[in-house]
Amino acid sequence: MSVEKSLAYQQKFFNDFATAWQDHSNYRLYKGIDDTAATLRLDIHEVPGYILAYDKSAQEELHDYLRGNFIQWLRQYVPFFEVSDDGRVFFGDWYHRREFGNLDVFGREIIHQNEQEQNIMPQLQNFAKDPDHYLDDQIERLRRSTYQEATDLHSQIEALEAQDDSEPTTTATREANGGGGFRGLLKNFIDPDDAPANTDDRPTQPRRRNLRGGDINHLRTQLAAAKEAADSKFDGEKRQLQVAAAVTRYEYQAVMNQYSSIDQFINILANLRVDYMKALKKAEEENKLA
């Protein structure tokens, strides 16, 4: 493209954009932004700065103007969305409603600002798989994770008790035969005919049992403390799960009252930009015919 043609193109573009601004044509304003982004291979958010000579005040004025119409359209297009005048999108009007995201005016989409907002759609998808057991499954996962330490301690105690129950007879037999090991061998070598005296008075419990008894008592103390801490944590987090599940149920019901499935709702959100431009184009054509 020659210099003359390039300047002519630029002049026509800016004239058309200025006319669109004067006519309050949202469709032509967005069309100018989209065409510039495609032609110059710019990110859509860089284009207003380029068109308006990087004048921050002018960019904000254009942004606020375009936002007003986008908000009005979105409130009607997704009726259960509550959209504030500054572009914050809330899921529903019920108590404990969640913020869903913020409007990206130039991109014509909803942007999730944090992890909580990003998790809403996956939670709705999980809820849709089994609405009747959604909360029960969450509570069971919470129970397993919260009481894991107490469960491990209980298993250790059972294992030690099982060892203690199995060892006394074996140890007593060794004691009756001379003590077992090197001590028994030495005793039989010195006096092989000397039978053990008063075997009934021998202790049937091995010395190691006392050591294990101390271990078991220590573990039982730990178990009691772990269970008390788990009880407190479980009660608090269970209540939070119940509230969160109730909010998710409200959201799910709102979606299903409007769409056939959660997947359809996801598709609607993914195509906001395309659908909005179709709506603007239709309104532009109707204004020409009026």
pLDDT confidence bin for 176, thresholds 50/70/90: very low
pTM of whole model > 0.85? no
287 vs 128 pLDDT, higher one:
128
Please report the sign of the dihedral spanned by the C-alpha atoms of residue 163, residue 169, residue 173, residue 179. positive
In angstroms, what CA-CA distances link 123 with 68, 135, 286?
30, 11, 41
> Is 127 strand, coil or helix?
helix
How much is the pLDDT for 216? 86
Contact 279, 73 (CB under 8 A): yes
How much is the pLDDT for 215? 84
Q: Is the pLDDT of residue 207 over 70?
A: no
Contact 58, 73 (CB under 8 A): no
> Is 91 strand, coil or helix?
strand
pLDDT confidence bin for 85, thresholds 50/70/90: very high
Q: Average pLDDT of 158-182?
A: 59
Q: Is the pLDDT of residue 180 over 60?
A: no
160 vs 165 pLDDT, higher one:
160
> Is 89 strand, coil or helix?
strand
How much is the pLDDT for 290? 73
pLDDT confidence bin for 240, thresholds 50/70/90: very high
How much is the pLDDT for 28? 97
User: Any idea what the Cα angle at residue 144 is, between residues 141 and 150, rounded to 5°?
Assistant: 160
Looking at 41-50, 186-195, 234-243, 261-270, which range is the least confident one? 186-195
Q: Closest Cα partner for 287 from 96, 23, 71?
A: 23
Q: Is the pLDDT of residue 205 over 80?
A: no
How much is the pLDDT for 190? 37
Contact 234, 241 (CB under 8 A): no
End-to-end CA gap in the chain: 39
Q: How many Å apart are CA 147 and CA 227, to the nearest integer?
A: 7
Q: How many Å apart are CA 86 and CA 68, to the nearest integer?
A: 9
